[in-house]
Amino acid sequence: MINIDLAISGAHILTIDQNMTEYKRGSIYISGNRINWIGPDVQQPENCIIREKIDASGKIILPAFFNGHNHAAMSIFRGLGNDQSLDKWLNEFIWPAERDLMNPATVYLGTMLSVIEMVRSGSGIFSDMYFFEDEVARVCEEVGIRGIIGEAIFDFPTPSRATPQEAMEFTRQLYNRFSNHPLINVSVAVHAPYTCSPDVIRQAGELSEELNIPANIHLAETIAEIETMAERYGKTPVQYLYDLGFLSGRTVAHHSIHLTQDDRHLLKETGTNVVTLPNSNMKLGSGACSVAELILLGITVALGTDGPASNNNQSMIREIQQLARLERVINLDPTGLSARELIRIATINGAKAYHLDKDLGSLECGKKADFQIINPNQPHWYPLYDPYNSIAYAMHSEDVESVIIEGKVVMRNRVLVNVDEERIFREMKKKIM
Amino acid sequence: MINIDLAISGAHILTIDQNMTEYKRGSIYISGNRINWIGPDVQQPENCIIREKIDASGKIILPAFFNGHNHAAMSIFRGLGNDQSLDKWLNEFIWPAERDLMNPATVYLGTMLSVIEMVRSGSGIFSDMYFFEDEVARVCEEVGIRGIIGEAIFDFPTPSRATPQEAMEFTRQLYNRFSNHPLINVSVAVHAPYTCSPDVIRQAGELSEELNIPANIHLAETIAEIETMAERYGKTPVQYLYDLGFLSGRTVAHHSIHLTQDDRHLLKETGTNVVTLPNSNMKLGSGACSVAELILLGITVALGTDGPASNNNQSMIREIQQLARLERVINLDPTGLSARELIRIATINGAKAYHLDKDLGSLECGKKADFQIINPNQPHWYPLYDPYNSIAYAMHSEDVESVIIEGKVVMRNRVLVNVDEERIFREMKKKIM
């Protein structure tokens, strides 16, 4: 007899495995935190003792989304100083507010708010770059979502660390504390080429190599960055990082908008991964990353929301749909990224970029049980010619009915299981508004 | 004593009147189909007999959205042949499907589906251009939403009419039938400069003038259209319509993407109104209309979803949020259209474009009672620095809790009052899927 903790049946399962296997009426059997069996309903294994069953008839099952880049606690600043130039926004609104408001308690609260929003829109994991990242880990443990936590490294003091060395030392502590944690991974989080000295970037790269963990960095996000780097070093930001030995298969480069063809080849040559952030890039007027071009070169491109202050939302569904449209309008061509490709970008590609694809990103026997159950009985889902298409263009966040992470139901019928959402809203009102 | 049919109090009211008046805790008193009184709770009039009260404490009230352009029945084709070039999509998927599938019953069903989606996302009115428009009117009457119906005029036979003259004659019949209808207005709906001969465009313009009703047309939507018109007439589409005497204050030009500076001045000179359709323009790879430029010239710009097959969604909230972001990325500047301007574009500007602003588009004493009640108790609304900003960047369609049109509650707590949604979904499954 096989012990099954949770058996879900009757669903249209989009596995997002290499063959894009689908089961029109399929089941997933979970033992502990892993998928024990997945396949068509009619081939369900016998000799199972099933602890809990969910009938998902008429529903769609998809891997949980992989949010490749965030500053989750910045929900606290959502809407603050909107409609300003980037320079004015940072200097007059965000940076003073960070100095005044950011402490462990507000990072906890802001991250909790974002995590609620992420789970409610189907995300199972997010990569974070901010301050007091131990608080981010605490939120993940409480809610039951995965987090890749990265304490931000700047040349100058941050709300949490006085020097870049302290931030790196803290990264090492986080690594030691969480290296066997079921939900938490740790990354080295270098803010950007223009906010870190060559020495700091070199040291951070070495730390990532030593611990064999991802190294995040904002890269080629704005024209201003390109100009600054040209002025300081006579190089593009990509060339600069390449010359410092920072770029590798562990590197995850966020934004990567303003690239030369040489830059793209350096990213390809080094195995650097890219996370594209279409809503943030549009809202901040940064520009548009040409994703199809990167994919054509064989670069792994994942997707993220960026922080809530620059988006201003935390739904990966909105990112998929934005990437779909942005790619089409910049090329004046509606044949660029297919709906299937877009959904791979939002799921398995994130797992690949962070070297977690052995466990995450697709629904296969032996992989972690991380997925969402979607209810398509909504007007915008009719008629249903192709579920990939409906996800890539029409779906709403609220259609995500339940979310399973690490084999546990984290949201059930639109209610988060482990957190009192109303309490968080009240706290946010009391502390921030 | 004053008879009040419906009194709503406690809400944060965004009136969108000329001064952008707000009431932090305000009330709206409705008598029949009009606003009898609006103001702060503390100044509520005495001597009223109130039939029904709604406590909207903690909620936000905003005018219902004005969806300036649609082909609502095309929901039937939503997702069909996505990811194809525009040419292939129309020739191999949409036009054959229209020939095979479009009849009064399917137009009724497809429009009903879209109308459900529109009400659920806060729209109170939509302008439609399609076939069998009497069926569109029937849907509007049943659901309680406003419609501006326009029977599409082409040189060639449509699923409903054999000749452009028949379509114009039918427009006249619709006008005679609905000219005093509380919910239905009629427009002349010319498909496009490249699908109608000069004579037909001239006649349609005359009909619009004679009946004093709006004249809709698709204009300057694609590069291909610009090339076709240059080849045929040696003119831009705008110049061509101007020379035919078609452009006037009654004209509503949809898309208006590929414009020369001379074109813009002709639109301004003639008082032509523009409806921008950002999601459709992006999805179809048509291009981006530079809205701030048009507004700077003093042209009235409204907003629409376009048909569900080219969007693929019917939520005006998604259009506001898309326009916000698209405008910022095409100009690489986050200071273009403010959140307040965006919301004016989605409400009062639509009413102005169709000369209905005496009654619609803002919440003022004596105007029609058309508005939405929004529930901001959602994670993406926290913290709430500025409600305009939250609407323009973070809001979801599902936050629309109730919709009042013509003084009647059409959706109450996410349930449409006059239509059985599940029945429509079942019909759609049976007939189309």
The arithmetic mean of pLDDT across residues A142-149, rounded, is: 98
Q: Does A286 touch chain B (CB under 8 A)?
A: yes
Confidence of residue B85 (pLDDT cuts 50, 70, 90): confident
pTM: 0.97
Q: Which amino acid is at B42?
A: V
pLDDT tops 90 at residue B150: yes
Q: How far is B19 from chain A (nearest CA, A)?
A: 20
| Average pLDDT estimate for A113-130 | 98
- Is residue B420 classed exposed, middle or buried when 0-12, 13-18 and 19+ CB atoms within 10 A define those classes? exposed
The pLDDT of residue A86 is above 80: no
Contacts of B121 (CB under 8 A, 6+ apart): B65, B314, B315, B316, B317, B318, B397, B400
Closest by Cβ to B384, choosing from A333, A392, A433: A433
How far is Cα A191 from Cα A213, in angstroms, rounded to an integer? Answer: 16
Instruction: Identify all chain B residues contacting A114, using CB atoms and an 8 Å cutoff.
Output: 379
Q: How confident is the model at residue B335 (pLDDT cuts 50, 70, 90)?
A: confident
Torsion of CA A240, A244, A249, A251, to 10 degrees: -70
Sign of CA dihedral B369, B370, B375, B376: negative
Chain B residue closest in CA terms to A340: B83
Residue A120 touches partner B, C-beta closer than 8 Å: yes
What SS3 string covers chain B? CEEEEEEEEEEEEECCCCCCCEEEEEEEEEECCEEEEEEEHHHCCCCEEEEEEEECCCCEEEECEEEEEECHHHHHHCCCCCCCCHHHHHHHHHHHHHHHHCCHHHHHHHHHHHHHHHHHCCEEEEEEEECCHHHHHHHHHHHCCEEEEEEEECCCCCCCCCCHHHHHHHHHHHHHHHCCCCCEEECEEECCCCCCCHHHHHHHHHHHHHHCCCEEEEECCCHHHHHHHHHHHCCCHHHHHHHCCCCCCCEEEEECCCCCHHHHHHHHHHCCEEEECHHHHHHCCCCCCCHHHHHHCCCCEEECCCCHHHCCCCCHHHHHHHHHHHHHHHCCCCCCCCHHHHHHHHCHHHHHHCCCCCCCCCCCCCCECCEEEECCCCHHHCCCCCHHHHHHHCCCHHHEEEEEECCEEEEECCEECCCCHHHHHHHHHHHCC
Q: Which of A120, A284, A333 is nearest residue B285 as measured by Cβ atoms?
A: A333
Please choose, from the candidates B317, B274, B277, the residue with its C-alpha nearest in 3D space to the C-alpha of residue B62. B317
B75 close to A (CB below 8 A): yes
Query: What are the backbone angles phi and psi of residue B108, rounded to the nearest 5°?
Result: -60, -50
- Do the Cβ atoms of A383 and B433 come within 8 Å? yes
DSSP string covering A52-80, please? Answer: EEEE-TT-EEEEPEEEEEE-GGGGGGTTT
**Whole-number Å distance between alpha carbons of A35 and A367:** 6
CA A12 to chain B, closest CA, distance in angstroms equals: 16
For the segment B220-262, what is each residue's pLDDT rounded down to a tens digit? 999 999 999 999 999 999 999 999 999 999 999 999 999 999 9
Q: Which residues of B touch A386 (CB under 8 A)?
A: 79, 82
Q: Which of A221, A261, A214 is nearest to A237 (CA)?
A: A221
- A65-353 carries CATH number 3.40.367.20: no
DSSP β-ladder status, B215-219 and B251-255: parallel
- Separation in Å, CA of B32 to nearest CA in chain A: 30
Question: What is the distance in angstroms between the Cα of B321 and the nearest Cα belonging to chain A?
Answer: 9
Nearest to A377 among B279, B392, B425 (CB): B425
**Contact (Cβ atoms closer than 8 angstroms) between residue A278 and residue A304:** no
List of residues 6+ apart from A311 with CB closer than 8 A: A279, A280, A283, A305, B393
Residue B222's pLDDT is 94
| Shortest CA gap A35–chain B (Å) | 31
Q: How many whole angstroms separate alpha carbon A244 and alpha carbon A264?
A: 17
Q: Does A76 touch chain B (CB under 8 A)?
A: yes
Q: A401 or A87, which is more confident?
A: A401
Which band of pLDDT confidence, cut at 50, 70 and 90, is reported for residue A148?
very high
Distance from CA of A285 to the nearest CA of B (A): 4
Residue A117 sits at the chain B interface (C-beta within 8 Å): yes
User: Chain A residue with minimal CA distance to B342?
Assistant: A83
**pLDDT given at position B427:** 95
- Answer yes or no: is pLDDT of B95 > 90: no
CB within 8 Å: B334 and A116: no
Q: Is B89 on the interface with A (CB under 8 A)?
A: yes
% pLDDT > 70, chain A: 100
Q: Which residues contact A299 (CB under 8 A, 6 or more apart)?
A: A264, A267, A268, A272, A273, A274
At A421, the amino acid letter reads: E
- Nearest-by-Cβ selection for B332 from A285, A325, A429: A285
Q: Are B349 and B295 in contact (CB under 8 A)?
A: no
Asked if the Cβ–Cβ distance from B85 to A334 is below 8 Å, we say yes
State whether B384 and A120 contact (CB < 8 Å). no
Confidence of residue B263 (pLDDT cuts 50, 70, 90): very high
Give percent above pLDDT 90 in chain B: 92
* Cβ–Cβ < 8 Å for B366, B35: yes
Distance, in Å, from the CA atom of A412 to the CA atom of A229, rounded to the nearest integer, reads: 48
The predicted structure's pLDDT at residue B82 = 81
Pick among B60, B281, B380, B422 to test the A interface (most A CBs inside 10 A): B380
* Contact between chains at B380 and A282 (C-beta distance less than 8 A): no
Q: How confident is the model at residue B169 (pLDDT cuts 50, 70, 90)?
A: very high
On the question of pLDDT at A433 being above 80, the answer is no
Phi, psi of A415 (to 5 degrees): -120, 125
Which chain B residue shows the shortest CA-CA distance from A424? B379
- Out of A284, A331, A380, the one facing B285 most closely (by C-beta) is A331
Q: Please, what is the average pLDDT of chain B?
A: 96
Whether the complex's predicted ipTM is more than 0.90 is answered with yes
**Rounded to the nearest 5 degrees, what angle is found at the Cα of B18, between the Cα atoms of B17 and B20?**
60
Contact by Cβ (8 Å): B380, A121: no
- Backbone phi, psi, residue A354, to 5°: -105, 15
Q: Kindly list the domain boundaries of chain B, sorted by start residue.
A: 2-63+361-416
In whole angstroms, give the CA distance from residue A256 to residue A228: 16
The answer on pLDDT for A209 being more than 80 is: yes
CATH, domain B2-63+361-416, list 3.40.190.10, 1.10.260.40, 3.30.70.260, 2.30.40.10: 2.30.40.10
Neighbours of B235 (CB within 10 A): 15
Which of B74, B83, B420 to mutate against chain A (most A CBs within 10 Å)?
B83
CA angle B100, B103, B108 (to 5 degrees): 130
Residues of A numbered 142-201 whose beta carbons fall under 8 angstroms of chain B's beta carbons: which are they? none
Amino acid, res. B69: H
8 Å CB contact between A148 and A126: yes
| Residue A107 to residue A312: CA distance in whole angstroms | 17
Q: Given a cut of 80, is residue B432 above it in pLDDT?
A: no
Lowest mean pLDDT among A54-68, B75-89, B389-403: B75-89
CB contact under 8 A, A285 and B385: no
Q: Mutate which of A12, A24, A82 to test chain B, going by most B C-beta atoms within 10 A?
A: A82
Least confident of A327-341, A371-385, B368-382: A327-341
Most A CBs within 10 Å, among B325, B332, B422, B431, to test the A interface: B325
CB distance from A326 to chain B under 8 Å? yes
Q: Check pLDDT > 90 for residue B204.
A: yes
pLDDT in tens, B283-299: 999 999 999 999 999 99
Angle formed by the axes of helices B133-143 and B164-178, nearest 10°: 30
Residue of B nearest to A420 (CA): B379
Cis peptide before B418 (omega within 30 of 0): no
Q: Output the pLDDT for position B250.
A: 98
Question: Lowest mean pLDDT: which of A380-384, B3-7, B68-72, B89-93?
Answer: B89-93
What residues contact residue A35 under an 8 Å CB cut-off, 6+ apart? A28, A29, A363, A364, A365, A366, A367, A368, A369
| pLDDT (0 to 100) of residue A159 | 93
CATH of the domain spanning A2-63+367-416: 2.30.40.10
What is the pLDDT, as a whole number, of residue B385? 92
Averaged pLDDT for residues A134-160: 97
**What's the start-to-end Cα distance of chain B, in Å?**
55
A377 touches chain B (CB under 8 A): yes
- Buried-state track A168-188, b at ≥16 Cβ within 10 A, e below 16: bebbeebbeebeeeebbbbbb
Nearest CA-CA partner of B106 in B61, B154, B73, B145:
B73
Mean pLDDT of A267-271: 98
Structural tokens at position B45: 């009039």
Q: What is the mean pLDDT of residues A70-82?
A: 92
Are A325 and B283 within 8 A, CB to CB?
yes
Using an 8 Å CB-CB cutoff, list chain A residues near B279.
Answer: 325
Give CA–CA dist B330/B324, Å, rounded. 11
Tens digit of each residue's pLDDT (9 = 90 or more) over B393-421: 999 999 999 999 999 999 999 999 999 99
In chain B, residues with a C-beta closer than 8 Å to the C-beta of A282 are: 325-326, 328-329
Chain A: closest CA distance from residue B306 (Å): 14
Strand partners, B372: B62, B403
In this predicted structure, the answer to whether residue B5 has a pLDDT above a threshold of 80 is yes
Lowest mean pLDDT among A79-88, B5-14, B306-315: A79-88
pLDDT of residue A334: 87
- Cβ–Cβ contact A91 with B under 8 A: no
Chain B nearest-CA distance from A225, in A, is 14
In angstroms, the CA B157 to CA B171 distance is: 15
Indicate yes or no: CB of B82 within 8 angstroms of CB of A393. Answer: yes
- Average pLDDT estimate for A78-87: 82
In the chain, the amino acid numbered A301 is V
Contact B313 A433 (CB under 8 A): no
Tokens for B405, please give them. Answer: 């049109």
CB contact under 8 Å between B329 and A286, yes or no, is yes
DSSP string, A166-207: HHHHHHHHHHHHHTT-SSEEE-EEE--TTTS-HHHHHHHHHH
Average pLDDT, chain A: 96
Chain A environment of B305 (Cβ under 8 Å): none
Token reading at A355:
């070297």
Nearest Cα residue in chain A from B326: A282
Q: How many CB atoms lie within 10 A of CB B312?
A: 27
Q: What is the pLDDT of residue B182?
A: 98
Q: What is the mean pLDDT of residues A15-21?
A: 98
Whether the CA torsion B238, B241, B243, B249 is positive or negative: it is negative
A311 interfaces chain B, CB cutoff of 8 Å? yes
- Alpha-carbon distance of A253 to B362, in angstroms, equals 46
Q: Average pLDDT, stretch B363-384? A: 97
- Could you tell me the two tokens for A124? 């199972």
Residues B302-310: what's their mean pLDDT? 96
Residue of B281, B326, B379 with shortest CB distance to A113: B379
Confidence (pLDDT) at A89: 85
Q: How many whole angstroms separate alpha carbon B26 and alpha carbon B42?
A: 8
Residue bearing tokens 């409906």: A390
pLDDT at A99: 87
